Amino acid sequence: MPVFPGTNSEDETLRLLRDCGADAEIVHWSQASKMAHYDAYVLSGGFAYEDRIRAGAIAAHDRMMDYVIEAAGSGRLIFGICNGAQMLLEAGLVPGTGAIRRPTAAFTRNGPAPHFICRHVYMKLAIEPARCAITASLREDALVPAWAAHAEGRLAATPEHLSEIVAGGHLAFVYANANGSVDEAAIPNGSALGCAGLVNREGNVLAIMPHPERDAWNFNHLDRREGDDVLAPSGGSVLFSSFVQALAS
Amino acid sequence: MVNLRDEELQRIAERLGRDPSVVELHAFDAAWSEHCSYKSSRHFLRNLPTSGPRVVLGPGEDAGLLHLGTHDGERYAIVVAHESHNHPSQVVPFEGAATGVGGIVRDVLCMGAEVVAVADPLRFGRCDDLASHQSHVARGVVDGIGAYGNAIGVPNIAGDVYFERGFNENCLVNVVALGIVNEKDVIHSYVPKGAQGWQIVLVGKATDPSGFGGASFSSLALDARDAELNKGAVQVPDPFFKNVLMRASYRVFALLRERKVAAAFKDLGAGGIVGCSAEVTAHGGYGAEIDLDKVNVAVEGMPPEVIAVGETQERMLWVVPPDFVPELLQIYNEEFGLPDVAYNARATAIGEVTAQQQYVLRYRGGIVMEVESEFLTGSIHDELPYTERIYHGAAAQELPALDLQGIFPRVLAHRDVCSREPLYRRYDSVVRGCTVLPRGAADAGVLAPVPGSRLGVALAVAGNPRYGRIDPAYAAEQAVLEAMRRVVAVGAHPIGLTDCLNFGNPRKAEQYGGFIAAVEALGRAAKELDLPFVSGNVSLYNEASDGRAIPASAIVACIGSIDDVAKVVTPGFKAAGSALLWIGSRELVAGGSVLAELLGVKGTLPSIEYEAERAALAIVRDAIARGVLRACRVVTDGGMLTAIARLVFDALTEGRKIGAEIDFGNPLCEAGGFVCEVAPDSGMDVTGTLQIGVTIDALELIVNGTRFDIEHLHEVWSRPLAALYP
């Protein structure tokens, strides 16, 4: 897990990865050379480099990202959450519709109100589970609980490019209501296509805006039931479990 | 500008045997300001109870500590700090509020703790006119708190907000912060025995001219005419830098534990380098010698007094044994690369601890300050006249016959009752992944702060300005009661309190009298309920340009412990057919209520009876222990019916469509207590409770025969603040 100046969600992301069985550790920005030897990379949330220019824009050019870009090219798994997702878009790894790596879309300033929003959401899987290695163990139409917590999470791209995102099967997750229905009310940030997550063409790079790791243990759930083991992973952890299973196979 | 009074200047000159230097003048100006010295409040605050079995550390250092519980054989404490940033927020709302969060977070951090939560009690003026200055303040403050807390990654789990005319020219921005620390790893705010020769290391941003005169500025009445002039006294926030500074400090804590090295760590707040280094050494019985030329500065050529007492944000002071210095510098300057994160930021050794209790500052080869440490930092005391009894209530009037259908929607839409979601959804309430009850979900926020443990901590704040307008002492007592009830309602055991006392001008006998009466009242309530105050803050001189004080505002936060977060009472009604019990006062009086305000009548204030209060707490806790309490809310602004409506709304948010049918004399009175949903066959002893109704399988609220459509009520309640916070 690379950590940049301004990252703020590394501890809980690491904890959940480990609870789901991953052998994970944090690599600090001052130790970039350590980055080479991992099977997969998880980019966690925060405000790397203060969100200067646009969220993720500076981090996308950090030397830590050179390793991530190389790993993505060699088919290793890359999973970006919130600020991590923004970096993957700014680095051009997702949606990755073209042959050449270049940024073609952005998670940018929320709309219609241009403010930070912290709201509980559901992400609905909008692709065949096997289309993306990281979601391969989810069931079809899986609904993953999570928290949206960002000021720049609205997918923006040209209409032509949005069509390519849909046609190429890059729209990995959309915002949904608790019952799985999809409508405007479910979208917290005005995101085009109701997009909550994007996957690259090869299916090894996933970028999601909401934080499943913040609704990932039974004690996080407001609707938990009596008798549930409060310390057990559940809810949002399914996506992490799926990620760890993909790593194992 | 120095705000020392003539008699204070005289005292300084007599003690020094000479005229003070410019640097000394500014140092005393900060140290002897109300903000730093508590000169007109300290002797009253002594009467607050501050000890008890749960107290690990009472008031006196950067923050207080309460024992939370044991996990894996280790004892954990919650670190508690509470501060105000009222004056700066009125002048530059965004920066003022953001630096308020920044300051309190450092107070918690400096105890060797991880910062796990913040809460923000806010008091704004009336914001009916969205273009008014008070609306600008109300928006800027919320954005500032969000921008800071969100970036450093500390969840905002509790808080409240009131909009009162009395705050039009003087808003209140209080911030509470909590930390978690293993009790054997606490770092103190003073040097230990044997610290002679230890190094004093300044860490953080380069010192710049911002925040010069801040302590002194906070201790004056805000005069609108000087607002422009005072902007320079407000510090500049840098949450991005703080994020890195916090994480680097966590790394230092780990190394200190590993090496078993003792150290002192203290926040640079009011009074800057002098204020901090003098206190951290003097309170250990030592002196200090500081070389101002070693301080990393942002601009060359700053006068020594600015370097010495300026209040640049994001700085802290370590005092460590000399052989630990290289590793300390390596962590901040290389591993976390502070100089790359902000211009000329770093950790730098600037002086050392001396055996003589003298505080000496050197600058360009000469001595610019040399005073007895004890004289600078020791307690000073103002004897001021005050008025004994403050009560602005009028004779109670008869309430007109209640038209529930007409009035209840107006109560729900009232600015003190309506949904706070448009405001708090701008705060990250779930970062760190350990949130159990996020902001707004229930009467208190709850966290599971120790990874892998079932231990929980609950936090709630209270302080009703409608009571404060009428009777400062009564409002203070009610603040303790409400904050405590709130943590009980989520299933926690209240273990301690912290307060921020926001009052008017102590040089006006009536305003000072209100403060003194409120402190007495806080002490009474805390003693009756057996709860200690472990930290707190005083903010005086909160008055408008016409000299009128703000509504007296003793704002109280209560901390509760939870042995097993599985037992937390989750939000909203759970099932139709449950019994609804009322556990609380049956007085049908409307004094200080929203109802009384809407009807334009004066009412009697609900009485405070501690015997009944203790009995009510015992009943609620018994129901939780038996596992029969399905849902619970306390009665506050908007009365019992508002609490019931919110239990319906909470359930609806979770997808459960459950209504309620109740009968109760006047369910809009605000006499305190708990509305509880209990299983019909609970088997609990219902002595002392009153069954007021049942939950029903329909989205309706039926009250004394009057029917309300829930969706309509929810709409009415949700909307009002969306105009101010779109």
Question: Which element (helix H / strand E) includes B161?
Answer: strand B156-163
Q: What is the pLDDT of residue B37?
A: 79
Q: What is the pLDDT of residue B226?
A: 57
**Residue B225 pLDDT > 50:** no
**Residue B219 pLDDT > 70:** no
- Give, as one character, the DSSP assignment of residue B726: -
Q: Which residues of B touch A45 (CB under 8 A)?
A: 431
Report the predicted TM-score, pTM, of the whole model to 2 decimal places.
0.95
Question: In terms of Cα–Cα distance, which of A127, A232, A115, A89 is closest to B454?
Answer: A232
- Give, as one character, the DSSP assignment of residue A34: G
The span from the first CA to the last CA of chain B, in angstroms, equals 41
Q: Is B150 on the interface with A (CB under 8 A)?
A: yes
Q: How confident is the model at residue B216 (pLDDT cuts 50, 70, 90)?
A: low
Q: What is the pLDDT of residue B685?
A: 80
Which among B146, B426, B432 has the least Cβ separation from residue A11? B432
Cβ atoms of B83 and B100 within 8 Å: the answer is yes
Position B637, amino acid: D
Position B304, amino acid: P
Q: Is A8 on the interface with B (CB under 8 A)?
A: yes
Domains along the sequence of chain B with CATH = 569-726 (3.90.650.10)
Residues with Cβ < 8 Å from B189, sequence gap 6 or more?
A: B61, B62, B110, B111, B264, B265, B266, B279, B280, B283
Q: How confident is the model at residue B393 (pLDDT cuts 50, 70, 90)?
A: confident
- Name the A residues in 138-177 with CB < 8 Å from any B CB: 147, 149
Q: Is A226 on the interface with B (CB under 8 A)?
A: yes
Cα–Cα distances in Å, from B282 out to A73, B26, B359, B388?
60, 19, 9, 36
How far apart, in whole angstroms, are the C-alpha atoms of residue B625 and residue B647?
21
Query: Tokens 């190394």 sit at which residue?
Result: B255
Question: In terms of Cα–Cα distance, which of B588, B602, B606, B581 is closest to B464?
Answer: B606
How far apart, in whole angstroms, are the C-alpha atoms of residue A205 and residue A85?
10
Question: In terms of Cα–Cα distance, which of B296, B180, B600 is closest to A11?
Answer: B180
pLDDT tens for residues A121-153?
999 999 999 999 999 999 999 999 999 999 999
- Give, as one character, the DSSP assignment of residue B53: T
How far apart, in whole angstroms, are the C-alpha atoms of residue A247 and residue B475?
59
Question: Which element (helix H / strand E) includes A206?
Answer: strand A205-208
**Residue A58 pLDDT > 80:** yes
Q: Is A115 on the interface with B (CB under 8 A)?
A: yes
Cβ atoms of B529 and B495 within 8 Å: the answer is no
- Name the A residues in 11-30 with CB < 8 Å from any B CB: 11-13, 15-16, 28-30
Size of the A and B interface in Cβ pairs below 8 Å = 115
Cβ atoms of B216 and B311 within 8 Å: the answer is no
Q: What is the pLDDT of residue A223?
A: 81
Cβ atoms of B551 and B648 within 8 Å: the answer is no
Q: Which residues of B touch A230 (CB under 8 A)?
A: 448, 454, 564-566
Cβ atoms of B537 and B640 within 8 Å: the answer is no
Which among A50, A222, A231 has the least Cβ separation from residue B240? A50
Please name the residue of chain B whose CA is at the shortest distance from the CA of residue A219.
B436
How would you list the strands of the sheet with B156-163, edge to edge?
A: B55-57, B64-71, B74-84, B172-182, B114-124, B156-163
> A81: distance to nearest CA of chain B, Å?
13
Cα–Cα distances in Å, from B504 out to A148, B463, B547?
41, 16, 9
**Residue B17 pLDDT > 70:** yes
Residues with Cβ < 8 Å from A16, sequence gap 6 or more?
A: A213, A216, A233, A237, A240, B433
Q: How confident is the model at residue A193 (pLDDT cuts 50, 70, 90)?
A: very high
Q: What is the pLDDT of residue B308?
A: 95
- Give, as one character, the DSSP assignment of residue A139: P
Q: What is the mean pLDDT of residues B185-196?
A: 96
Question: Which element (helix H / strand E) includes B622?
Answer: helix B610-625
Cβ atoms of B555 and B79 within 8 Å: the answer is no
Compute how many other C-beta atoms are within 10 angstroms of the C-beta atom of residue B186. Answer: 16
Cα–Cα distances in Å, from B7 out to A79, B3, B12, B75, B382?
66, 12, 9, 49, 11
Q: Is B565 on the interface with A (CB under 8 A)?
A: yes
Q: How confident is the model at residue B722 (pLDDT cuts 50, 70, 90)?
A: very high
Q: How confident is the model at residue B232 (pLDDT cuts 50, 70, 90)?
A: low
Q: What is the pLDDT of residue B227?
A: 52
**Residue B229 pLDDT > 60:** no
CB-neighbour burial class of residue B355 (10 A; exposed 0-12, middle 13-18, buried 19+): exposed
Q: What is the mean pLDDT of residues B293-302?
A: 94
Q: What is the mean pLDDT of residues B58-66?
A: 93
How far apart, in whole angstroms, are the C-alpha atoms of residue B15 and residue B12?
5
Q: How confident is the model at residue B224 (pLDDT cuts 50, 70, 90)?
A: very low
Q: Which residues of A touch B428 (CB under 8 A)?
A: 116, 118, 149
Query: Tokens 């709309």 sit at which residue?
Result: A111
Q: What is the pLDDT of residue B390?
A: 73
Query: Tokens 């799985």 sit at which residue?
Result: A180
- Give, as one character, the DSSP assignment of residue A59: G
**Residue B36 pLDDT > 90:** no
The proportion of chain B whose per-residue pLDDT surpasses 90, expressed as a percent, equals 84
Q: Is B332 on the interface with A (CB under 8 A)?
A: no
Q: What is the pLDDT of residue A241?
A: 98
pLDDT tens for residues B656-683?
999 999 999 999 999 999 999 999 887 8
ipTM of the complex: 0.96
DSSP string computed for A108-135 = EE-SSS-S-EEEEEEEEE-S-GGGSGGG
Domains along the sequence of chain A with CATH = 2-248 (3.40.50.880)
How far apart, in whole angstroms, are the C-alpha atoms of residue A89 and residue B237?
29
Q: State whether residue A73 is helix, strand or coil.
A: helix
Q: Which residues of A touch B426 (CB under 8 A)?
A: 115-118
Please name the residue of chain B whose CA is at the shortest distance from the CA of residue A149.
B428
Q: What is the pLDDT of residue B610?
A: 96
| Lowest mean pLDDT across B5-9, B247-251, B255-259 | B5-9
What is the 3-state secondary structure of B383-400?
Answer: CCCCCCCCCCCCCCCCCC
Query: Tokens 């992400």 sit at which residue?
Result: A123
| Lowest mean pLDDT across A7-21, A213-227, B346-360 | A213-227
Question: In terms of Cα–Cα distance, which of A91, A68, A92 is closest to A78?
Answer: A68
Mean pLDDT of chain B: 93
Q: How confident is the model at residue B445 (pLDDT cuts 50, 70, 90)?
A: very high
Question: In terms of Cα–Cα distance, which of B459, B409, B467 is closest to B434?
Answer: B459
Which among B424, B427, B654 has the least Cβ separation from residue A223? B654
Which among B146, B243, B726 has the least Cβ separation from residue A116? B146
Cα B67 off chain centre by: 19
